[in-house]
Amino acid sequence: AAGVIQSPRHLIKEKRETATLKCYPIPRHDTVYWYQQGPGQDPQFLISFYEKMQSDKGSIPDRFSAQQFSDYHSELNMSSLELGDSALYFCASSPRQGLEGTQYFGPGTRLTVL
């Protein structure tokens, strides 16, 4: 079965640089979520989109922005990177936005900021 695709899988950036992470949801899934997982921590919700509109917002820094495109893929843009942004970034998708929609996670993008 098709899974969530994330690219790149690994990314190394310098402080103050920008990064763009991409997410391709499971076909026919219309809701996308972004999470950040720091080393040894649990995933923290950043933001979600339903039908190309932002549907919920969590602890996402103002330096980060995201959007969902007409083909339902999503991009997380991160600017003025800081050392503390080093983390595993997950994208998840679900077939519906409601409470019962199970979130299926991609393999993650490991971002290292030097």
Partner 1 sequence: AQKVTQAQTEISVVEKEDVTLDCVYETRDTTYYLFWYKQPPSGELVFLIRRNSFDEQNEISGRYSWNFQKSTSSFNFTITASQVVDSAVYFCALRWAGGGNKLTFGTGTQLKVEL
Residues that bind partner 1 (CB under 8 A): 31, 33, 35, 41-43, 45, 48, 50, 55-56, 58, 88, 90, 92, 97, 99-100, 102-108, 110
Considering the complex, what minimum distance in angstroms separates the CB of residue 113 from partner 1?
Answer: 18
Q: How far is it, in rounded angstroms, from Cα 1 to Cα 65?
A: 30
Considering the complex, what minimum distance in angstroms separates the CB of residue 73 from partner 1?
Answer: 18
Considering the complex, what minimum distance in angstroms separates the CB of residue 89 from partner 1?
Answer: 11
Q: Which is nearer to partner 1, 16 or 57 (CB)?
A: 57
Cβ(31)–Cβ(47) under 8 Å? no
Q: Which is nearer to partner 1, 65 or 103 (CB)?
A: 103
Cβ(77)–Cβ(30) under 8 Å? no
Strands (E) in the chain, as ranges, are: 5-7, 10-13, 19-24, 31-37, 44-50, 53-57, 64-68, 74-78, 87-94, 104-105, 109-113
Q: Which is nearer to partner 1, 26 or 113 (CB)?
A: 26
